[in-house]
Amino acid sequence: MRKQIAAANWKMNLTVQQAEQLLKDVISADVQPGENQEIVFAVPFPYLDMANNLLAGKSNFSIAAQNVYHKISGAYTGEVSVDMLYSLGIRYCLVGHSERREYFKETNHELAEKINLLLLQQVTPVFCCGEPLDIREAGEQNKHVETQLIESLFLLSSEQIVKIVIAYEPVWAIGSGKTATTQEAQDMHAYIRSVLADKYGKDIADLISILYGGSVKAGNAKELFSSPDVDGGLVGGASLMAQDFIQIIKVLK
Ligand code: PGA
């Protein structure tokens, strides 16, 4: 069975004290992820080391960066490299969140470079894809997401593609309180898997975890995660409250 993942995306929220307390509240709660489950916290860069140390020795809990630069090293003031993440013990990194695509103009090709560098260092990319509202309204969402997959992932070999996690996040559902219906999520996840299967074969496509993101809450997670192709969630707002995120963890398959 594919790994089932509850990933928190804190974005640019919380002080270090609040962040520490939130992590402590979640890990001290009665949640022991199963062998097949993983709980990931995508935290701001300055908190990576604190968070990773807090989770040390806790199996199936991991820390992720929210971004990484697409060059190995050098004169890029203010940026963070894959080597830096790896040397801190970070083993996951979000790539291509829609906020980065929108506000920082990240392109599919640049994301392909980030993914390549992450995989070279054994850091798992959580590749975010998803369509904005106008594309959904035009009924072009499958084509839009397929292009994102082709341009950012399809240079990868079969050995590499099985090492990534995909997060489908319809842009219109992020932070809007508007969730995709369970059917809309399942349809897109199945489509993504079919695109992967056409390129890499069904056996490989079946190994790749595809998370849903966009207004996942304690109240809707169970139904969303129950779909056969939805392997957990990437959770923004609701991951900032320990009790809500704990509820979401508990309904992972
Ligand atoms: P949201 O954010 O859960 O607040 O909609 C999800 C995300 O952006 O990853």
- Whether 1 has a pLDDT exceeding 80, the answer reads no
What residues does ligand 1 touch, defined as CB less than 6 Å away?
A: 9, 169, 174-175, 213-216, 234-238
What is the average per-residue pLDDT within 161-167? 98
What is the average per-residue pLDDT within 128-149? 96
Task: Please tell me the distance from the alpha carbon of residue 160 to that of residue 52, in angstroms, as a whole number.
Answer: 25
Phi-psi region of 169 (alpha: psi -120 to 50; beta: other; left: phi over 0): beta
* Catalytically annotated residue among 97, 99, 106, 189: 97
97 is catalytic: yes
Tell how strand 124-129 and strand 37-43 pair up. unpaired
Residues 6+ apart with CB under 8 A from 44: 10, 12, 14, 19, 66
Question: 149, 105, 130, 146: which is closest to 236 by C-alpha?
Answer: 130
What is the average per-residue pLDDT within 90-116? 97
Q: Tell me, what's the pLDDT at 102? A: 95
Confidence band of 210 (pLDDT split at 50, 70, 90): very high
Task: Please tell me the distance from the alpha carbon of residue 158 to that of residue 145, in angstroms, as a whole number.
Answer: 20
Mean residue pLDDT across the chain: 96
Query: What are the pLDDT digits (tens) for 48-81?
Result: 999 999 999 899 999 999 999 999 999 999 999 9
Residue of 128, 212, 234, 248 to test ligand 1 pocket, by largest number of atoms within 8 Å of CB = 234
Q: Tell me, what's the pLDDT at 31? A: 87
Q: What angle do CA 108, 110, 114 make, to 5 degrees?
A: 110
Task: Please tell me the distance from the alpha carbon of residue 191 to that of residue 169, in angstroms, as a whole number.
Answer: 14
Helix (H, G, I), strand (E, B) or coil at 126: strand
Confidence band of 178 (pLDDT split at 50, 70, 90): confident
Sign, Cα dihedral of 53, 59, 63, 64: positive
- Whether 11 has a pLDDT exceeding 90, the answer reads yes
State the pTM of this model: 0.97
Measured from the Cα of 128, ligand 1's closest atom is: 9
* Catalytically annotated residue among 70, 106, 169, 189: 169
Query: What are the pLDDT digits (tens) for 75-99?
Result: 999 999 999 999 999 999 999 999 9
The DSSP call for residue 239 is: G
Share of the chain above pLDDT 90, in %: 94
